[in-house]
Structure 1
């Protein structure tokens, strides 16, 4: 019982320190900027807001707290050594990388790069210098890279859980340019979560005074004989995917599975490196290369698949449904095909408008679901409701703007004013942080 109370006291002190740390609030700020940016893009493409960024931000904060609690409980028994210097190194490296690509904010890149630098500096005599370069080299050499990579693996397992749980909610429909220049519909999936964690640290002096009451999995157990303390460790995890060929739910499941395999693979190599240090460089390279492999596999799968969000001879493909509209009340969902309206088959937007006005106060629809079966839907229409019942249709050749995603950096998030360019002017503006696809709309 005394050991439990001691852990709770240490946790309270670490939580207080976490609330005073600027890194957690920086993560929340970056996430807020990203969601605000996506909202502006939706207004540009569809003249309506499909998501409320405060709601999205609230969901990510709550989910991040839940996953942080789970990982913190697991970390109690791992023995991962994270110091204040390690936190500064990880966030400092991530802060530099984020100006190159926003997706490099992931700590898989910062810890992997730190592992490579630690190995490279080990072949030099920089640590013998008496200036700040020598101090930095000594500090870098003291980082527990295998332990940090185990932490990165745990974060990606937590990310796999979050993507499976919430990934489909953080989606934005887009008009994209297809392989042959024809416009197609697609989805940007982008979820980011600030994850506050509490981790045990062996105390050299000033710790609890009592040895850790259980045996940790990693590291030398004698490190904990002098007692332990606990630190608050803010992290940020997230993913960004683009799909033209899958429903958001299917893409989220695929991304979650890839993250699960990544976390297990990196975790296995990192645990092995914690027992045999020559594997540290291999573990760092795995963290970097396997993460890039996830991005490449997703990209090539999309390139090899046919676009899904396009109109065909059956009718008009629904790209998205605006919340709070008649379409949502009728049960229309993204990916379905509007076949007939008021008994009239529709293949263009003009035919849809004309069919809706056959009975201006009533709408009777035949909609093909994802399995190709017919759904019969009907609803009264009222003045002031959305002119398309609230559906966002896949683009046609007359779409005014489309998205051409280029890899974005932090500078793109901070730039607020952009000149709106039409599709006919062929001017591309970045629409998403890490999508290897194409965006032609201003923010």
Structure 2
């Protein structure tokens, strides 16, 4: 037992030398870089820094990975090197392309399962790759299906607990040429899971790779950073609610697929059905929600008197006051703002009292009053983002 514990601890340290581990950091930073460029174009300034994607997702999946590790090692789930190779290639490809919607376990594991069903003895002609694929025939489809379902549930929980709170604003030209607001959530998580792989082939490449012997069987211990991606654009609904519902649907799909995966222990062919259900189910969730969103009118658009908040700048007075996307500022110091110009003029109106008073209608249509001390000439630092400035011209022309 002490040998197993020692190898687990060693694997933790060696995990940070794993080259695939850094792909997630590179991809997240690239996503942040392109988002900042878009925000500068839309708003003339960046809303969140380039590290935002990495900072809000780097550690989110670690706890889930450790829980899955205990479960999988405890019940003896074993994956082949060939399955890990195919999943890793899929993950690296779409992580570098930043196509996060294809980094659901439903796709990466589903593709692997169908590969072993259709091409179990395929050769690449490359000795190193063929050596990794040599154990394709030993791949346990039930083990792949169980891990796929488990990671699909984790995906749903990450969307529920993390993604629903970290969308970013974007401006889009509407059908009439007017600027409308929307939100985008694009995240990449890695879930590090300890996996037992039969054989000691890795010691021939890396002498330090941990090996565990159980009876007459030898296993290599892999700490695999499974990638889970999420990408969603929301125009017609409150972003937090829309993303929350996505998380519930994905988690529910994961539970259904897990049921099929467990049944495949007795009926192996059901593992194929589990893979098909996962892939088609995840795709249908995406398509269905896109259609639903298109049916709704633009959420971040004029709704009666006042101005709707698209977002607030981080660490700004607006964030400190608790202003949220989707809320409407109905009055500023007693003045009903009909444009951004009137909003800022109203802020200046009562600076002698060293405070501003905002009357706000929240997303549940409940009114509330917020007050904050301000000083002359700092009204522009409240940090509230409305829709693009050319929207003001449309209001004032009425």
Q: TM-score, structure 2 length as denominator?
A: 0.83
Moved more, 317-326 or 93-102: 93-102
Evaluate the alpha carbon distance shift between residue 209 and residue 68 of structure 1 in structure 2; reply closer, same or farther with a 3 A threshold. closer
Q: 1:365 aligns with which of 350, 358, 366?
A: 358
Aligned alpha-carbon RMSD (Å): 3.1
Evaluate the alpha carbon distance shift between residue 283 and residue 174 of structure 1 in structure 2; reply closer, same or farther with a 3 A threshold. same
Q: Which consecutive residues of structure 2, in runs of 5 or more, have no partner in the other structure?
A: 204-210, 394-398
Q: CA deviation at 1:79?
A: 2.7
Moved more, 282-291 or 88-97: 88-97
Q: 1:12 aligns with which of 9, 13, 27?
A: 9
Matched, 1:282 2:279: no
Q: CA deviation at 1:360?
A: 4.2
Give runs of aligned pairs for residues 5-404 of structure 1, distance below 5 A.
5-54=2-51, 56-96=53-93, 99=97, 101-121=99-119, 139-178=135-174, 181-202=177-198, 208-211=212-215, 226=217, 228-361=219-352, 362-383=355-376, 385-387=378-380, 389-395=382-388, 397-398=390-391
Q: CA deviation at 1:392?
A: 0.6
Secondary structure at 1:252 match in 2:
helix
Secondary structure at 1:232 match in 2:
strand
Evaluate the alpha carbon distance shift between residue 266 and residue 323 of structure 1 in structure 2; reply closer, same or farther with a 3 A threshold. same
Q: Which consecutive residues of structure 1, in runs of 5 or more, have no partner in the other structure?
A: 212-224, 401-443
Q: CA deviation at 1:204?
A: 7.8
Secondary structure at 1:173 match in 2:
strand
Moved more, 292-301 or 327-336: 327-336
Secondary structure at 1:188 match in 2:
strand
Evaluate the alpha carbon distance shift between residue 389 and residue 140 of structure 1 in structure 2; reply closer, same or farther with a 3 A threshold. same
**How many pairs does the alignment contain?**
381
Q: Deviations over 1:349-393 (max 9, x none)?
A: 222233223234442222222232332233332255352722111
Evaluate the alpha carbon distance shift between residue 382 and residue 126 of structure 1 in structure 2; reply closer, same or farther with a 3 A threshold. closer
Q: CA deviation at 1:319?
A: 0.9
Structure number with greater CO (CA < 8 Å, separation at least 6) is: 1
Contact 1:68 1:195 in 2 (8 A): yes
Evaluate the alpha carbon distance shift between residue 64 and residue 102 of structure 1 in structure 2; reply closer, same or farther with a 3 A threshold. closer
